[in-house]
Amino acid sequence: MTATRPGMIAGGLNREAHYYLALSLVRMGRPLEAEQLIIKAEKLTREMDPGSETAFTSLSLLSGMINDSKGNSLDSRQLLDKISSMKNFQNSHQEAERLKVERYKP
């Protein structure tokens, strides 16, 4: 699918909406709701743009934050470790390292 197709544009906006809603919810201390939205955003990314390392990097960081919020520090650590092998997008490597040390708290 190319970026010129209408579905790609709508799907991209939908993915971003799910991501930013999830980010807001985790910051408000509502990780279970955030998790459902991030799952939808990941599904949309796999359907629309499976090679988008930048999208998966952002989604992995947020998933790590969500897992920390839920008390799943092992799952969070695995996600944050995975980020070091991904593209360094907007200081994602440094942010992942910071979250490993400080742990996310809403």
Model pLDDT, residue 5: 52
Model pLDDT, residue 103: 85
**Is domain 6-102 in CATH 1.25.40, yes or no?**
yes
The arithmetic mean of pLDDT across residues 65-90, rounded, is 93
Model pLDDT, residue 1: 40
Domain range list for the chain: 6-102
Q: What is the dihedral of CA 18, 79, 67, 104, to 10 degrees?
A: -100
Q: Judge contact between 68 and 32, C-beta under 8 A.
A: no
> pLDDT band at residue 66, thresholds of 50, 70 and 90?
very high
The arithmetic mean of pLDDT across residues 53-81, rounded, is 94
Q: Each residue of 3-47: pLDDT tens digit?
A: 445 555 677 789 999 999 999 999 999 999 999 999 999 999 999
- What residue has token string 């994602």? 92
The arithmetic mean of pLDDT across residues 89-98, rounded, is 93
